[in-house]
Amino acid sequence: MSSDDISDRKGPPTAAAKSIAPGLFGWSSDLRRSWQKWWRNIPTPVRWGVLGLFILFVYALPSLGLPLIPTQQSDFTSVLAGSVVPYIMIALGLNVVVGMAGLLDLGYVGFYAVGAYAIAVLTTEHASLPWLIAMPISVVVSMIAGVLLGAPTLRLRGDYLAIVTLGFGEIIRIVALETDWLGGSVGINNIVAPPNIGPIKFIGKERNIAFYYLAVTLVIIVYFFLRRLEDSRVGRSWSAIREDEDAAELMGVPTFQFKLMAFAVGAAVGGLAGTMYASKSRFILPDNFELKLSILFLAAVVLGGPGNMPGVIVGAIAVSYFPERLRFLNTSRYFWFGVILMLMMVFRPQGLIPRRLRARRLNSRAGPPGPPDKPEPFVDVAEGDPDLEGGSRGIAPA
Partner 1 sequence: MASHLLEIDHVTMQFGGLTALNDVDFTIEEGEILGLIGPNGAGKTTCFNVITGVYQATNGEVRFQGSSLAGIERHKITKLGIARTFQNIRLFPDMSALENVMVGADAHHRSGLVSAMLHLPRHRREQEDGFLRSFELLELMGISDRADDAAKNLPYGYQRRLEIARALATNPRLLCLDEPAAGFNPAEKVELMGLIRTIRDQGYTVLLIEHDMSLVMGVTDRIVVLDFGKKIAEGTPTEVRANPTVIAAYLGEVEEDAS
Partner 2 sequence: MTFDQFVSTFWPSTITGLVLGGIYALVALGYTLVYGVLRLINFANSEVFMLAAFGSFFAVDLLGIPDRLGDGSNPYKSGFSLFATLGLCLLISLIIGAASAVVVERVAYRPLRKRNAPRLVFLISAIGASFAIAEAVGEWGPKQREEYGLAKYFEKQTLFTFFGARVRNDYVLVVVAAIIMATALVLFVDKTRVGRGIRAVAQDSETAKLMGVNVDRVILITFAVGGLMAGGAAFLYEVYNGTARYNVGFLIGVKAFTAAVLGGIGNVRGALLGGLLLGLIENWGASMFGANQNIGTMFSFITLVVVLMFRPSGLLGESLGRSKA
List of residues contacting partner 2 (CB under 8 A): 102, 104, 106, 152-153, 155-160, 162-164, 166-168, 170-171, 174-175, 177-178, 291-292, 295, 298-299, 302, 331-332, 334-335, 337-342, 344-346, 349, 369-372, 377, 386-387, 390-398
Nearest Cα neighbor of 314 from 329, 324, 301 is 301
- Residue 247 binding target from partner 2, partner 1, none, CB below 5 to 8 Å by type: partner 1
- Residue 30 binding target from partner 1, partner 2, none, CB below 5 to 8 Å by type: none
Q: What is d(CA 339, CA 153) in angstroms, rounded to the nearest whole number?
A: 29
CB of 122 to partner 2, least distance (A): 25
Give the dihedral of Cα atoms 264, 269, 271, 275; nearest 10 deg. 160
Q: What is d(CA 357, CA 89) in angstroms, rounded to the nearest whole number?
A: 21
Are the C-beta atoms of 194 and 131 separated by less than 8 Å?
yes
Are the C-beta atoms of 98 and 104 separated by less than 8 Å?
yes
The smaller minimum CB distance to partner 1, of residues 237 and 275, is found at 237
- Residue 248 binding target from partner 1, partner 2, none, CB below 5 to 8 Å by type: partner 1
Nearest Cα neighbor of 108 from 311, 238, 271 is 271
Site string for partner 1, 307-346 (x = CB under 8 A): ----------------------------------------
CA atoms within 13 Å, Cβ hemisphere of 189: 2
Q: What is d(CA 278, CA 124) in angstroms, rounded to the nearest whole number?
A: 12
Three-state DSSP class for residue 200: strand
Three-state DSSP class for residue 68: coil
CB of 261 to partner 1, least distance (A): 6
CA Rg value for the chain: 22
Q: 369-382 burial by CB neighbour count: b if 16+ within 10 A, else e?
A: eeeeeeeeeeeeee
- Residue 250 binding target from partner 1, partner 2, none, CB below 5 to 8 Å by type: partner 1
- Residue 357 binding target from partner 2, partner 1, none, CB below 5 to 8 Å by type: none
CB of 267 to partner 2, least distance (A): 17
Are the C-beta atoms of 76 and 68 separated by less than 8 Å?
yes
Element (H, E) at 49: helix 44-60
CB of 219 to partner 2, least distance (A): 25
Site string for partner 1, 349-388 (x = CB under 8 A): -----------x-xxxxxxxxx-xxx-x-xxxx-x-xxxx
Alpha carbon distance, N-terminus to C-terminus of the chain: 64
- Residue 278 binding target from partner 1, partner 2, none, CB below 5 to 8 Å by type: none
For 303, counting Cβ atoms within 10 Å of its Cβ (0-12 exposed, 13-18 middle, 19+ buried), the class is buried
Site string for partner 1, 215-254 (x = CB under 8 A): ----------x--xx-xxxxxxx-xx--xx-xxxxxxxxx
* Using rule CB under 8 A, residue 64 touches partner 1: no
- Residue 356 binding target from partner 2, partner 1, none, CB below 5 to 8 Å by type: none
Element (H, E) at 123: helix 109-123
The smaller minimum CB distance to partner 2, of residues 302 and 318, is found at 302
The smaller minimum CB distance to partner 2, of residues 162 and 357, is found at 162
Please, what is the angle between helix 109-123 and helix 291-304, to 10°?
120
CB of 17 to partner 2, least distance (A): 35
Answer left, alpha or beta for residue 89, where phi above 0 means left and psi between -120 and 50 means alpha: alpha
- Residue 200 binding target from partner 2, partner 1, none, CB below 5 to 8 Å by type: none
9-48 binders of partner 1 (CB under 8 A): 9, 14, 16-17, 20-21, 23-28
* Using rule CB under 8 A, residue 154 touches partner 1: no
Residues that bind partner 1 (CB under 8 A): 5, 9, 14, 16-17, 20-21, 23-28, 225, 228-229, 231-237, 239-240, 243-244, 246-255, 261, 265, 360, 362-370, 372-374, 376, 378-381, 383, 385-388
